[in-house]
Structure 1
Amino acid sequence: MTLFNSARTAIRNASIESPAVPLTSTTLLELFGGPKVHAGVAVTEEASLGMPAVWRAVNLIAGTAGSLPLHPYREVGDVRVKVTTGRAAQLLDEPHPDMTPFELWELMFGHLLLWGNAYFRVLRNRNGQVQELWLIHPGRVRAGRDSETGLKIYEVDRAPDPLFDEQILHIPGPGYDGVCGVSPIRAARQGIGLALAAERYGAQLFGNGSLMSGILQTEQRLNGEQADALKARWKAKVGGLDKAHDVAVMDSGIKFQPLSIPPEDAQFIESRKFQIDEVARMFGIPPHMLMQTEKSTSWGTGIEQQSLGFVKFTLRPWLTRVEQRLSRLLRDQAVYVRYSLEGLLRGDSAQRSAFYRELWGIGVYSTNDIRRLEDQGPVEGGDVRYRPLNMGVLGTEDSEEVPADV
């Protein structure tokens, strides 16, 4: 274990954030960030999370995907059997010594969604089997191909030597060079920059007092005490529910001039709504999942179809990327990795019941199969499977006898 512990120490030194120079420091943000966009703000992966729609989109996909059950399977003849013991099962149950599986996978999907790439440092035991997976911040890795061998190589800052596929698990997002994924934030930085600028503008609009209800005007010159007294008199006359729709009378030539948001200032509200739709389009999320419900029936027949489309067209491709990369990592164990999408039914008892009933009725699940999925013990005779038509025992012939009461 000495070799394994020294490797873990090397990982801490090479790829884990230094307390002296945290990743969120201004220096590193400037180093990894690009120039300002046309809206006048700098857009980085970290800064984009300041936009609530981006924060919600990343948390929605990363949290949902990270919470799904992830298991290794092995082909036994024509049957897929879930592997519950051995190195592969242990790795997926405890991939990291400190982080829970959900925390690790959620952070991995966050890296994919923001940087377009996720990198793990692979720690192996003396037999070469994968022991642990340590996430590396994407901003600390440069990936490419060796010009002579064509093999992928990785440069990690503060690591003395380049690393290779045996040492790095790289999960790329959509890209164009077959090596690295493209950061969605960098690809859509102009739209996100516009949203961040609109939010900053709105904060300044409120902060500089542009939303006062009105101005009291008089021809007389007032000192500070007189102005405060006048304001107090006005509030006393018009403040409170009991003064609603009442008429205020002021003397000394005082006039009240109501204020409203100028049309050009009010437009930023509509602009922010449009940017929510842009973020939803960028991440492939139905707008209602970002709390934008004005167009909740624009896809399919309603909310249910939009949610189904999110699973099929957005979530599934991300899951497939991770499944295939983990399967390649564990191919020495003769297993492949699959997410269980049935985990999405965990909070919907009606859909879960309908799902079980349908598969039970055609012989796919037995009673005990369903009970295991519901974390309940088996029952006697619960392993029998049934077939449709007359619900006879699966594998038997239909009875040709006519019932006596016919």
Structure 2
Amino acid sequence: MKGFFGSLFSGGGERKEESRYGLVDQMWADFFGGFATSKTGISVNWKSALSVTTVLACCRVRADGLATVPWKLYQRTEKSVNGKTVVDRREARDQPLYDLLATAPNEWMTSLEFRETQSFHVDLAGRSYAFLNKVRGEIVEMILLDPARVAWKVNADYSRTYTLRGIDGTTETVPGDQIWHVKGPSWDTQEGLNVVRYAAEAIGLALATEESHAMFHRNGARPSGVLSTDGAIGEAGLVKLAAWVRRHFGGAENTGKIMVVDRAAKFSPIQMTGVDSQHVETRKFQVERICEVLRVMPIMIGFSGDKNATFASAEQMFLAHLVHCIRPIHRRFGGSGDLFLLKKEQRQKGYYTGFVDADFLSPAMKDKGEYNSTALGKSSPGWLTPNEIRGFDELPPVTGGDRLYVPANMVAIDENGKPILLTPPATPALPPPGE
């Protein structure tokens, strides 16, 4: 097994891309998540898709939303207080899985790097695979695998087995409980849809327009204007005239200067044609199409199109991005982690994984302050204690900070939800007059 994983991850650098020709090679390419040919004639796979800046930017935004938020292991417990059931939650730091999720899943990757790569795999291949190295039934290490090197099948008893293919062609089959399989949106409930394949036309057109635009600038001659004179001046005269124009009228410092020439010379500027303008519009349209596929708002990748967002509208767009793009990603990975990384007995004991979504408020101090004030009980009964709020910023707890508050003068409430009335110290009676 150790030798196989050595062949799976060895190579020492970027390996040469294998050539794929003929029906058999095409079949294997499709089997291992290969490429799709768009109507433009351009082959689209994950590597060519990433060469489109819009795809790269969208995948990075989605990966940042998944990887930069803390992911922790919690345990929810219930206890009875005065005949009532009280739900409590704690960070399960005593469990080995806690450190794997929050800090380092293996010896060479941080939690951020691990989840970042997972996000790219799910978005561009439709699935992500991680080998779960277990010792006496407990996960001690998680190793990401190239999706193209993993194949799986469903057995007669509905269990799964995964076949891993090494660089040297050797294979190893492992049971399903040793693979963490995260899949994207699915049709058959077994495998995630390959977004690159289904969006091949949009990505292929973006590649084609970008390539044609690049070749236009490489091979085309597009001066800013034409300076013509009466009569022939010869090649030497043309070189001399061109040098004179560059010296006296070229560069930003000469912008707006009046050009005076002899021999009835005329300068005719060259404007962008309608075809050029439409070409640019096509490239802009493809940005929006790709953003639609990956569910990323164009403003999140720095593209505003023809609309300039105001501060208020941009704020709502950022909020919509968190609600409709990032939160579904958190729920997908959180649910998959609960299913594949936790045993059923652990889930029954209240263990679950959770993303600290409140971390998104950290850069917005005003919004964060308003949220914390409301959660503490500014205008309605609070649902967070001062120590829980301090925990968002990794601050230590304070004495007496584990109670909830109600708005009336911000008094603490007991386990039954009743205010705790503090009895003022008794005032000593004054002695009678004359004593």
Please give the TM-score of this superposition, normalised by the length of structure 1: 0.86
| Structure with bigger gyration radius | 2
Aligned residues: 390
Matched, 1:250 2:262: yes
Task: Give the one of 336, 347, 356 matched to 2:352.
Answer: 336
Matched, 1:44 2:50: no
Judge conservation of contact 2:36–2:45 (CA < 8 Å) in 1: no
For residues 149 and 382 of structure 1, do their structure 2 counterparts lie closer, same or farther at Cα, with a shift above 3 Å needed? closer
What displacement does 1:353 show? 1.1
Q: Distance in 1 between matches of 2:192 and 2:91?
A: 31
For residues 132-162 of structure 1, what are the alpha-carbon distances to aligned partners after superposition, in whole Å with 9 as ceiling and x for unaligned? 111111121223323x233223222235332
Superposition pairs for residues 63-78 of structure 1, below 5 Å? Answer: 63-77=64-78, 78=87
Judge conservation of contact 2:100–2:111 (CA < 8 Å) in 1: no
Q: Distance in 1 between matches of 2:236 and 2:152?
A: 68
Judge conservation of contact 1:237–1:248 (CA < 8 Å) in 2: no
* Map of 1:204 onto structure 2: 215
What displacement does 1:215 show? 2.9
* Map of 1:11 onto structure 2: 5
- SS of the aligned residue for 1:337 comes to strand
For residues 101 and 20 of structure 1, do their structure 2 counterparts lie closer, same or farther at Cα, with a shift above 3 Å needed? closer
RMSD across aligned positions (CA): 2.9
Task: Give the one of 271, 283, 287 matched to 2:298.
Answer: 287
* Map of 2:144 onto structure 1: 135
1:154 corresponds to which letter in structure 2?
Y
For residues 147-189 of structure 1, what are the alpha-carbon distances to aligned partners after superposition, in whole Å with 9 as ceiling and x for unaligned? x233223222235332321121110000211111112121111
Q: Distance in 2 between matches of 1:216 and 1:234?
A: 10
What displacement does 1:118 show? 0.5
- SS of the aligned residue for 1:378 comes to coil
Task: Give the one of 106, 117, 137 matched to 2:127.
Answer: 117
1:367 corresponds to which letter in structure 2?
P
Superposition pairs for residues 277-356 of structure 1, below 5 Å? Answer: 277-293=288-304, 294-295=306-307, 302-328=313-339, 329-331=341-343, 333-334=346-347, 335-356=351-372
* Map of 1:3 onto structure 2: none
Superposition pairs for residues 84-103 of structure 1, below 5 Å? Answer: 84-92=93-101, 93-103=103-113
Judge conservation of contact 2:129–2:180 (CA < 8 Å) in 1: yes
What displacement does 1:399 show? 9.3
For residues 90-135 of structure 1, what are the alpha-carbon distances to aligned partners after superposition, in whole Å with 9 as ceiling and x for unaligned? 322321111111111111111111111100011111x111111111
What displacement does 1:230 show? 2.4
* Map of 1:374 onto structure 2: 393
Judge conservation of contact 1:121–1:133 (CA < 8 Å) in 2: yes
What displacement does 1:192 show? 0.9
Matched, 1:363 2:382: yes
Judge conservation of contact 1:119–1:136 (CA < 8 Å) in 2: yes
What displacement does 1:17 show? 5.7
* Map of 1:403 onto structure 2: none
* Map of 1:151 onto structure 2: 159
Please give the TM-score of this superposition, normalised by the length of structure 2: 0.81
Judge conservation of contact 1:173–1:181 (CA < 8 Å) in 2: yes
For residues 349-373 of structure 1, what are the alpha-carbon distances to aligned partners after superposition, in whole Å with 9 as ceiling and x for unaligned? 1121111111111332222222222
1:25 corresponds to which letter in structure 2?
E
1:12 corresponds to which letter in structure 2?
G
Q: Distance in 2 between matches of 1:219 and 1:67?
A: 67
Judge conservation of contact 2:38–2:200 (CA < 8 Å) in 1: yes
Q: Distance in 2 between matches of 1:150 and 1:272?
A: 46
Task: Give the one of 406, 422, 427 matched to 1:387.
Answer: 406
- SS of the aligned residue for 1:166 comes to helix
Mean CA deviation greater in 384-393 or 275-284: 384-393
What displacement does 1:254 show? 4.6
- SS of the aligned residue for 1:120 comes to strand
For residues 274 and 17 of structure 1, do their structure 2 counterparts lie closer, same or farther at Cα, with a shift above 3 Å needed? farther
Mean CA deviation greater in 253-262 or 40-49: 253-262
Mean CA deviation greater in 35-44 or 316-325: 35-44
Matched, 1:57 2:58: yes
Mean CA deviation greater in 329-338 or 388-397: 388-397
Task: Give the one of 181, 184, 187 matched to 1:170.
Answer: 181
Q: Distance in 2 between matches of 1:133 and 1:96?
A: 6
Judge conservation of contact 2:126–2:185 (CA < 8 Å) in 1: yes
Identity of aligned residues (%): 24
1:385 corresponds to which letter in structure 2?
L
Gaps of 5+ in 1: 1-5, 401-406
Q: Distance in 2 between matches of 1:37 and 1:276?
A: 17
Task: Give the one of 223, 238, 242 matched to 1:227.
Answer: 238
Judge conservation of contact 1:214–1:258 (CA < 8 Å) in 2: yes
Q: Distance in 1 between matches of 2:368 and 2:182?
A: 32
Q: Distance in 1 between matches of 2:353 and 2:406?
A: 30
Mean CA deviation greater in 282-291 or 235-244: 235-244
What displacement does 1:302 show? 1.7
Judge conservation of contact 1:210–1:261 (CA < 8 Å) in 2: no
Matched, 1:105 2:107: no
For residues 255 and 89 of structure 1, do their structure 2 counterparts lie closer, same or farther at Cα, with a shift above 3 Å needed? same
